[in-house]
Structure 1
Amino acid sequence: MSNSDMKRMPGGPMKGGPMGRGPMGHGHGAAMGEKANDFSGTMKQLMKYMSKYKIAIIAVLLFAIGSTVFSIVGPKILGKATTKIFEGLMAKVSGTGGIDFGAIEKILLILVCLYLVSALFSFIQGYIMSGISQKISYEMRNQILEKINRMPMKYFDTKTHGEILSRITNDIDTLGMSLNQSLTQLITSVTTMVGILIMMLSISWIMTLAALVIIPLSMFAVRKVVGRSQKYFKKQQRFLGHVNGLVEENYGGHQIVRVFNKEEEVTEEFNKLNDELYDSAWRSQFLSGMMQPLMAFIGNLGYVMVSILGGWLAIRKTIEVGDIQSFIQYVRNFTQPINQLAQVANQLQSTAAAAERVFEFLDEEEEDQTVINPADANDIKGNIEFEHVNFGYKENKTIIHDFSVNVKKGQKIAIVGPTGAGKTTIVKLLMRFYDVNSGSIKIDGHDIRNFNRSELREAFGMVLQDTWLFNGTIKENIRYGKLDATDEEVVEAAKSANVHHFIKTLNDGYDMVLDEEASNVSQGQKQLLTIARAILADPKILILDEATSSVDTRTELLIQKAMDNLMEGRTSFIIAHRLSTIKDADMILVMNEGDIVEQGSHEELLAKDGFYAKLYNSQFEDDEAM
């Protein structure tokens, strides 16, 4: 990654290393059937979140009820038409009359109007609810993106990229879709059950009691099937996340997989996870697929019971023939909302689980963004003082011990030492990605804790070993250091970075589009582009972290010259393993296990024949051996 002002690019790629994590490290969103830890608390929080749309939700409620009511009345009116036909046929047989087609026509027109109004109300409530759910999703995505920029670095050090991205994609998508479906379905299902029950009672309370016998059977069947299938749904979603993570990881690092001949191991691991996914998916789909035929079987038992009882009541003139048809339709429709309510219950669990993960992220501790009466970061000169700094990522483990050093404006400071010595940690403290446990870091006499973090970081520029370029033109990538820069300023920055000539040799020049991984330019060219970006940003303080460690000697010379142009007149911190590149540093800080063990110029440290001399000579011997 390379970023001149360390601001995160919206929509920029955030990827982990190809072989750095196992599949268990990738997060995945709330799955259908996954339960929230605090269902009631999360739903209350979600209701508060939705309260700003309460007028629209009330409208959805009214239109959903209206649509359902008009739909429910239909079968009883249709039964009247059936009764008219039956009476007409009986009158025709007895020779006393015939079928009253005029009355039937009126009944059918009324029925068509009812169904049209029902469909219109259903369309309106669906339109409004879709808007609500998408507005909530839109707002949550914005809040999460803004939240990311306020989060402390320690959070990202303990979470995988997949876990964080999952909140923005999977969880919010799940929340939006299930909210859209479950709320309206809950309203219509309850209204349908109550409405159908009233209509059934209006026809015959005896037949209604007989029909209600199917409810306990339906509930028992639903509970059994859902109880069995839910654990397989959870397992399916868990292994789906593992499979996706493994595929993503190995696709991103397919070259490394081939270099180390790990194709068989990767395939074996994939097959193992895929087998688990197949097994859980097959079981979950089979069990959930049993729901419909099982409910249909129970419903058919109800039809038989209602038909026999209805025929007996019709013979006794207790009900009309058309009422039997209406009642059978109501019985058929009565099992549907029961099934829907079971699905809604599952959806609400999924909604709560997704909402809980989103709210959990939004409630995470944030960095202190503002300071009362902050120091003016625009006036920073570059004098830096570390005073007895102690720091540890964990409270019980200090890794920087009593670190003190004075740096004057414009000095070039090199920080060297073995891996794990604390070099990069010093830089993180300087930019307030972390705050010191004790001691202080001062810039121009002001404690950095007296600056607003965002304003402080605007004074810094960084060029890192891992270059970070996004999918866009070369011009856009350089201009990222200063978004309002003119084309002429971009070209001047590229010339100072010794990358202008290379850009001009490209077919599209500065308008050439870098692909997602910027793989259509070399590593050295990517590094020069990030240096051009930093030059354009014109920072007061510069940090170079292993900026030449992954390029050839000739490109290193170009990069070194570009960095010299960049460092001119600026306070610069250089973290380097190649000690030959920091010979001209004003001061070299030699760190080991969190302490400064030596400091001085290159010649002074060699003359001491201490830790630095051993590091330098060991590299010199390695170069000679090569």
Structure 2
Amino acid sequence: MKQLKRFIHYYKPYQGLFYLDMFCALVLSGIDLVFPVLVRYLMSDVYEKKPPNMLELILITGGALLVLYILRYFCQKFITSWGHIMGARMEADMRRDLFTHLQELPFSFYDNSNTGKLMSRLTNDLFDISELAHHGPEDIFISIMKILGAVAIMLFMDVRLTLIILGVTVVIILFTAFFNIRMRSVFAKNREKIALVNAQIQDSLTGIRVVKSFSNEAIEAAKFEDGNRQFLDTKAESYHLMGTFFSGSSFLQGVLYLSVLVVGGIFLWQNSINTADMVTYILYINVFLNPIDRLVNFTEQFQRGMTGFTRFLEILDTQPDIKDRPGAVALQNVKGDIVFENVSFSYEGTSQVLNHINLTIKAGQNIALVGPSGGGKTTFCSLIPRFYEVDEGRILVDGTDIRDIRLSSLRGSIGMVQQDVYLFNGTVRDNILYGRPSATDEDIIKAAKLANAHDFIMELENGYNTYVGERGVKLSGGQKQRISIARAFLKNPPVLILDEATSALDNESERLVQQSLKELAKGRTTLVIAHRLSTIQNADCIVVLTANGIEETGTHAQLMQKGGVYASLHSESVKLR
């Protein structure tokens, strides 16, 4: 019931459209109920009695029926078109809410989620919502109106025959309820299996270059076939169930017809009812069976739609563990002082990555983070913009606990250039503009020049309007890196985090970009993660992070003189060069 209430909530913006749709459904039901009454009138009072004004009565009745069917045409058209549009709008609202909520969830959620499965929730799981939103209330309303109306009129004509019809109807209802329960679990399995297929497709297509480079197309095809076969098996199971359900419903409806024909024939033989009433009864069986068919179809539709809605709510009810505290403040005139106080952190299900870290970074300092892989350098930097929440301790920016700062303000003050560059499937201009959407073309060009990207951009086919392809596939690694650096330049943040930002550049490009980064770093707090130790020798402070925590801090000269972990890493770096 809670889920149903939340589903009904999505009708609220479209109440006017909904009530108009229900009014048209009411008119539709009324017209269908009136038709057999008019037929009975013509048969018993006109065709059989043949009054003097018979032709006039036939024409008047025919004219009335024509007007009713014209009205029915417009009502049906409204229901079919605008009713479906209402359902589609509700589906779009749900998809918007889900996408917006996904944007709010932290990195930890995506660490444990598959992109293909999430896309399935956004698309496949909501496909049947539109049909349910439109046909659900309408089918129930029309069915109830027709059934109640038909039963009332049939009871008026013959109570005994009507009670027999109702007895068979009870059997149909029980039969439907039984299969309703069984179909719900099968449809849920269908959703899960198609999500697995989508995940496999997304994984294979995203990594298509790796697949082809290892000639592993056959392996990917086998993995896909496995998921595809599982989905087919659950579909086959659902179709077997549906086959039994629909054929059983059809059989019981046949029994209903048979009961009326046999029992009604006996009553006719006994002169308990007249021929006109018998014909009217048969017509009302059609009126009566139509809503039952609707309810049977609605049962399947309801299961499909609510199964998708349940999976939709599973994500919507996932609460972000990183959000603004009540009373969170915006950063003003950011200086860039950063303090780690006894900070510990571990990813879910893993051992501790950072253990009781204490570090003070003064505004404007250039801090380099070095150490072996797995030492927690990237994690250290990810905690500052609250991509993850610390387990113990706290992080301060300008003396304020970052948990007391609005996320938008905190992250708006931090610029990041990551090792794994992500470019959106748009133009070069769009990707640079992502750093500051309100920037002008002059600002974009200035940022590109600072990142040493302007010259190669102008050599592209359409310059800044060149499409980069999915994930920037049309550009080289160095070009993508420089565009991401230009994006950071455009943002112009007080705090800058460079996660091996020059790792994909050749020596000449690296030299030019390092000059630009040095210029950008002036007056800003800068944290640099680097494997190439030659690029951070001029850092104000080098922090050596290992699995044991902060092993060493100091300038390049101090650490080399100490002859510890940094000196060892540096000597290895020189050998590799």
Q: Same fold (TM over 0.5)?
A: yes
Residue 4 of structure 2 corresponds to which residue in structure 1? 43
Matched to 1:494, the amino acid is A
2:468 to 500, 514, 517: 514
Say if 1:87 and 1:99, in contact at 8 Å, map to a contact too.
Answer: no
Relative to 1, partners in 2 of residues 1:81 and 1:293: Cα closer, same or farther, differing over 3 Å? farther
CA offsets, 1:462-499, max 9 Å, x none?
10111122122212221221222221121111111111
Residue 71 of structure 1 corresponds to which residue in structure 2? 32
Using the alignment, how far apart are the partners of 1:239 and 1:141 within structure 2?
A: 20
Superposed counterparts of 1:259-274, under 5 Å? 259-274=213-228
Using the alignment, how far apart are the partners of 2:500 and 2:145 within structure 1?
A: 67
Task: Specify every segment of 5 or more residues in structure 1 that has no aligned partner in the other structure, as ranges.
Answer: 1-39, 92-96
Say if 2:168 and 2:252, in contact at 8 Å, map to a contact too.
Answer: yes
Superposed counterparts of 1:569-588, under 5 Å? 569-588=523-542
* Match status 1:194 vs 2:148: yes
Residue 245 of structure 1 corresponds to which residue in structure 2? 199
Residue 293 of structure 1 deviates from its aligned partner by 4.3
Residue 108 of structure 1 corresponds to which residue in structure 2? 62
Using the alignment, how far apart are the partners of 1:448 and 1:237 within structure 2?
A: 40
Using the alignment, how far apart are the partners of 1:438 and 1:230 within structure 2?
A: 44
Residue 85 of structure 1 deviates from its aligned partner by 7.6
Residue 542 of structure 1 deviates from its aligned partner by 0.6
Matched to 1:67, the amino acid is L
Using the alignment, how far apart are the partners of 1:320 and 1:107 within structure 2?
A: 22
Residue 489 of structure 1 corresponds to which residue in structure 2? 443
Using the alignment, how far apart are the partners of 2:215 and 2:570 within structure 1?
A: 35
Using the alignment, how far apart are the partners of 2:400 and 2:265 within structure 1?
A: 94
Residue 120 of structure 1 deviates from its aligned partner by 3.3
Relative to 1, partners in 2 of residues 1:108 and 1:294: Cα closer, same or farther, differing over 3 Å? farther
Using the alignment, how far apart are the partners of 1:106 and 1:232 within structure 2?
A: 53
Residue 292 of structure 2 corresponds to which residue in structure 1? 338
Residue 608 of structure 1 corresponds to which residue in structure 2? 562
CA offsets, 1:98-150, max 9 Å, x none?
99443333222222223333343444455664454444444444444443444
Residue 378 of structure 2 corresponds to which residue in structure 1? 424
* Match status 1:523 vs 2:477: yes
Q: How many residues align?
A: 576
Quote the sequence identity (%): 31
Say if 1:226 and 1:288, in contact at 8 Å, map to a contact too.
Answer: no
**Residue aligned with 1:406, SS:** strand
**Residue aligned with 2:339, SS:** strand
Residue 51 of structure 1 deviates from its aligned partner by 5.1
> Which sits farther off after the overlay, 346-355 or 577-586?
346-355
Using the alignment, how far apart are the partners of 1:237 and 1:153 within structure 2?
A: 25
Say if 1:382 and 1:443, in contact at 8 Å, map to a contact too.
Answer: yes
Residue 309 of structure 1 deviates from its aligned partner by 3.4
CA offsets, 1:12-48, max 9 Å, x none?
xxxxxxxxxxxxxxxxxxxxxxxxxxxx221133345
Residue 327 of structure 2 corresponds to which residue in structure 1? 372
Residue 526 of structure 1 deviates from its aligned partner by 0.8
**Residue aligned with 2:281, SS:** helix
Matched to 2:560, the amino acid is L
Superposed counterparts of 1:205-284, under 5 Å? 205-219=159-173, 221-222=175-176, 231-284=185-238
Say if 2:25 and 2:142, in contact at 8 Å, map to a contact too.
Answer: yes
Residue 281 of structure 2 corresponds to which residue in structure 1? 327
Residue 592 of structure 1 deviates from its aligned partner by 0.8
Residue 111 of structure 2 corresponds to which residue in structure 1? 157
Say if 1:413 and 1:586, in contact at 8 Å, map to a contact too.
Answer: yes
**Residue aligned with 2:123, SS:** helix
Say if 1:295 and 1:335, in contact at 8 Å, map to a contact too.
Answer: no
Matched to 2:570, the amino acid is Y
Residue 617 of structure 1 deviates from its aligned partner by 2.4
Residue 519 of structure 1 deviates from its aligned partner by 1.1
2:41 to 80, 83, 88: 80
Using the alignment, how far apart are the partners of 1:317 and 1:520 within structure 2?
A: 87
Relative to 1, partners in 2 of residues 1:189 and 1:238: Cα closer, same or farther, differing over 3 Å? same
**Residue aligned with 2:452, SS:** coil
1:288 to 229, 242, 245: 242
Residue 379 of structure 1 deviates from its aligned partner by 0.9
Say if 2:417 and 2:484, in contact at 8 Å, map to a contact too.
Answer: yes
Say if 2:87 and 2:131, in contact at 8 Å, map to a contact too.
Answer: yes
Using the alignment, how far apart are the partners of 1:455 and 1:224 within structure 2?
A: 55
* Match status 1:541 vs 2:502: no
Say if 2:22 and 2:138, in contact at 8 Å, map to a contact too.
Answer: yes
Using the alignment, how far apart are the partners of 1:247 and 1:405 within structure 2?
A: 45
Using the alignment, how far apart are the partners of 1:449 and 1:314 within structure 2?
A: 83
Using the alignment, how far apart are the partners of 2:507 and 2:40 within structure 1?
A: 91
> Which sits farther off after the overlay, 565-574 or 157-166?
157-166
**Residue aligned with 1:456, SS:** helix
Relative to 1, partners in 2 of residues 1:495 and 1:51: Cα closer, same or farther, differing over 3 Å? closer
Using the alignment, how far apart are the partners of 2:188 and 2:9 within structure 1?
A: 28
CA offsets, 1:527-547, max 9 Å, x none?
111111111111111101122
**Residue aligned with 2:470, SS:** coil
Say if 1:403 and 1:595, in contact at 8 Å, map to a contact too.
Answer: yes
Using the alignment, how far apart are the partners of 1:371 and 1:125 within structure 2?
A: 46
Relative to 1, partners in 2 of residues 1:431 and 1:229: Cα closer, same or farther, differing over 3 Å? closer
Residue 185 of structure 1 corresponds to which residue in structure 2? 139
Superposed counterparts of 1:409-420, under 5 Å? 409-420=363-374
Relative to 1, partners in 2 of residues 1:447 and 1:208: Cα closer, same or farther, differing over 3 Å? closer
> Which sits farther off after the overlay, 459-468 or 240-249?
240-249
**Residue aligned with 1:597, SS:** strand
* Structure 1 length-normalised TM: 0.83
Say if 2:116 and 2:201, in contact at 8 Å, map to a contact too.
Answer: no
Superposed counterparts of 1:394-473, under 5 Å? 398-473=352-427
Matched to 2:327, the amino acid is I
Residue 23 of structure 1 corresponds to which residue in structure 2? none
CA offsets, 1:154-193, max 9 Å, x none?
3333333344444443444443331222111111122222
Relative to 1, partners in 2 of residues 1:610 and 1:52: Cα closer, same or farther, differing over 3 Å? same
Using the alignment, how far apart are the partners of 2:262 and 2:52 within structure 1?
A: 28
> Which sits farther off after the overlay, 143-152 or 448-457?
143-152
> Which sits farther off after the overlay, 545-554 or 217-226?
217-226
Matched to 2:490, the amino acid is L
Say if 1:78 and 1:108, in contact at 8 Å, map to a contact too.
Answer: no
CA offsets, 1:283-321, max 9 Å, x none?
422442454444334333333332343344445554342
Task: Specify every segment of 5 or more residues in structure 2 that has no aligned partner in the other structure, as ranges.
Answer: none
Aligned alpha-carbon RMSD (Å):
3.1
* Structure 2 length-normalised TM: 0.89
Say if 1:377 and 1:455, in contact at 8 Å, map to a contact too.
Answer: yes
Matched to 2:416, the amino acid is M
Using the alignment, how far apart are the partners of 1:596 and 1:239 within structure 2?
A: 46
Relative to 1, partners in 2 of residues 1:310 and 1:371: Cα closer, same or farther, differing over 3 Å? closer
